[in-house]
Amino acid sequence: MPEGPDIPPLRRSALAEHPFRQFREWYERAEREVPLAQAMTLATVDDAGAPDARMVLLKGIEPDSFNFFTNLSSAKARQVEASPLAALVIYWHELHRQVRIRGRVKRLSDAASDEYFATRPREAQIGAWASPQSEPLPSRAVLEARVREIDERFWGRPVPRPPFWGGYGLRPQEVEFWQGQVGRLHDRFLYTRTVGGWRLERLAP
């Protein structure tokens, strides 16, 4: 956490009225100054209600959702299909900033998944076909053999999106913007969705 006086306080008057506009402002700076600025933690719960979390990549900021992509048979996909309430945490250490997001997850359209899949490097496209994500794997050699098989299958032509791979969007109910300050007196502002729009309030550190 910051120990010097060089980080100005975060004030209500400097924040946008809509959390997505505020997020874009912070995210654009993070992309310039933070390695892998799109890395975020996705937290879900399993069938027993036990929490689970992993790192994913933010791959789209829609007008009303934060998007990520995965194998639709993976543990995370099974969990959000069964219990669609989830949370995201994005932390940019270099900027002493954090964004916390809670809301409901919905599957993205096939068209949106196709569009993003086409932008992935070929190696990642082949990997999406080859990996039975979250399932037991006998050995690395089995996975590598599967990669060679898929590579040969699509040799010389574009790799299509697997039918078992796609995207999800988290539509937030709450978005908290956190900025570190000296003495752990951090600035925190919470946007909460209401019937009439977004309510914004400061939280104690």
**Domain extents for the chain?**
12-118+162-203, 122-160
* Residue 60 contacts residue 36 (beta carbons within 8 Å): no
Token digits for 84? 């669609």
Token digits for 82? 């069964």
* Residue 189 contacts residue 200 (beta carbons within 8 Å): yes
Q: CA angle 110-114-115, nearest 5°? A: 120
| Residue whose tokens read 């196709």 | 114
How many other CB atoms are found less than 10 A from the CB of residue 10? 18
Per-residue pLDDT tens digits for 40-92: 999 999 999 999 999 999 999 988 999 999 999 999 999 999 999 999 999 99
Per-residue pLDDT tens digits for 170-204: 999 999 999 999 999 999 999 999 999 999 999 99
- Does 5 score more than 70 pLDDT? no
pLDDT at 26: 98
pLDDT at 7: 82
Helix (H, G, I), strand (E, B) or coil at 205: coil
The rounded distance, in Å, linking the Cα atoms of 134 and 75 is 6
| Residue whose tokens read 């309430």 | 85
Average pLDDT over residues 116-144: 96
The rounded distance, in Å, linking the Cα atoms of 138 and 142 is 7
Superfamily of domain 12-118+162-203: Electron Transport, Fmn-binding Protein; Chain A (2.30.110.10)
What is the helix (H) or strand (E) element at residue 91, kind and residue range? strand 85-92
Query: Residues 100-111, buried b or exposed e (16+ Cβ, 10 A)?
Result: bbbbebebbeee
Average pLDDT over residues 120-146: 96
Q: Which of 161, 184, 188, 202 is catalytic?
A: 184
Helix (H, G, I), strand (E, B) or coil at 99: strand
Q: How confident is the model at residue 4 (pLDDT cuts 50, 70, 90)?
A: very low
184 is catalytic: yes
